[in-house]
C-alpha cells in the first residue's frame, strides 16, 4: 500500500518557491479545466470597452495571484494535515482561474499587473500568519476572502458589456467556484469573522483593485 510522503521544512519551502514562480511567470499555470470562454463567440469591442474589460480582468487575475499566495502560506503553517490538504487542493482549483484570466487579458491585447509580485508576497505572509494563529482562523480567513471576491465578481459582471460573452463566462464560473470554496471552509470549521474585520479586509481589497486596474 502506498504511503504518504512527508516533506521536510526545506522541501516545503522549495515547493513554495516553485509555486510562486509558476504563479507569477506568464503562462506558467496549467489549468485542469478548459476556459469557459472557449465556446463563446468572438466579438469586437471598441477601444474604451476593451481597455475597461482588460482592467477588470487584470484585477481578477491579481486576485487569483493573491489567492494562490494566501492558500500556500496557510498550507505552510497549517497544524492539521487535513487542513493543509484542503488548502493545497483549493490552490490547485484556483490555478484554473489564474490561467483563464491571463488568457483573456492577452486576448484583449493587455498584460497582467506588474504589482503581482508585491501582492503575492503580502498575501503569502497574511496566509502564513493566519495559519500560525489557528486552523479555525485560517479557514475563516479563506471564507471571508472568498465572499469578498464574490462581491467583486458581481460588480464586474454588471460592468462587462453584454456582448462580451467570453469574459462573462469566465467570471460566472469563477463566481460559482469561489462561493463553493467559501462554504467548504466554513463547513470545515472556519471562524466567522466579525463585521469590523471584514470591513478592514474590504479596504485592503480596494487598494488592490484601484492599483491593478491600470498597472
DSSP 8-state code for residue 16: H
Nearest to 138 by CA among 76, 191, 177: 191
Is 47 annotated among the ligand-binding residues? no
Give me the half-sphere count of Cα atoms (radius 13 Å) on the Cβ side of residue 173: 18
DSSP characters for 17-84?
HHHHHHHHSTT----SS--GGGGSPP-PPPHHHHHHHHHHHHHHHHHHHHHHHHHHHHHHH-SSHHHH
Is 4 annotated among the ligand-binding residues? no
Is 61 annotated among the ligand-binding residues? no
Is 155 annotated among the ligand-binding residues? no
> Is the C-alpha dihedral spanning 85, 78, 28, 115 positive or negative?
positive
Give me the half-sphere count of Cα atoms (radius 13 Å) on the Cβ side of residue 171: 28
Phi and psi, residue 133, nearest 5° = -65, -55
Helix (H, G, I), strand (E, B) or coil at 110: coil
- Which positions make up the binding site for Fe cation? 64, 94, 97, 146, 178, 181
- Which positions make up the binding site? 64, 94, 97, 146, 178, 181
Amino acid at each position: 500500500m502506498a504511503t504518504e510522503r512527508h516533506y521536510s521544512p526545506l522541501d516545503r519551502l522549495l515547493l513554495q518557491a516553485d509555486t510562486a514562480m509558476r504563479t507569477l511567470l506568464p503562462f506558467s499555470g496549467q489549468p485542469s479545466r478548459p476556459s469557459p470562454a472557449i465556446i463563446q463567440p468572438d466579438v469586437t469591442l471598441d477601444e474604451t470597452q476593451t481597455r475597461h474589460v482588460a482592467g477588470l480582468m487584470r484585477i481578477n487575475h491579481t486576485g487569483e495571484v493573491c489567492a494562490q499566495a494566501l492558500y500556500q502560506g496557510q498550507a505552510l503553517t497549517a497544524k492539521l494535515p487535513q487542513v493543509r490538504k484542503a488548502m493545497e487542493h483549493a490552490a490547485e482549483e484556483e490555478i484554473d482561474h489564474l490561467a483563464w484570466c491571463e488568457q483573456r487579458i492577452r486576448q484583449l491585447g493587455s498584460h497582467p499587473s506588474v504589482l503581482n509580485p508585491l501582492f503575492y508576497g503580502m498575501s503569502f505572509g497574511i496566509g502564513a500568519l493566519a495559519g500560525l494563529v489557528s486552523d479555525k482562523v485560517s479557514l475563516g480567513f479563506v471564507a471571508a476572502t472568498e465572499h469578498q471576491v464574490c462581491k467583486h465578481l458581481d460588480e464586474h459582471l454588471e460592468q462587462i458589456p453584454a456582448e462580451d460573452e467570453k469574459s462573462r463566462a469566465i467570471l460566472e464560473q469563477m463566481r460559482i467556484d469561489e462561493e463553493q470554496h467559501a462554504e467548504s471552509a466554513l463547513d470545515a470549521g472556519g471562524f466567522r469573522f466579525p463585521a469590523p474585520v471584514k470591513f478592514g479586509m474590504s479596504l485592503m481589497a480596494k487598494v488592490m483593485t484601484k492599483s491593478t486596474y491600470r498597472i
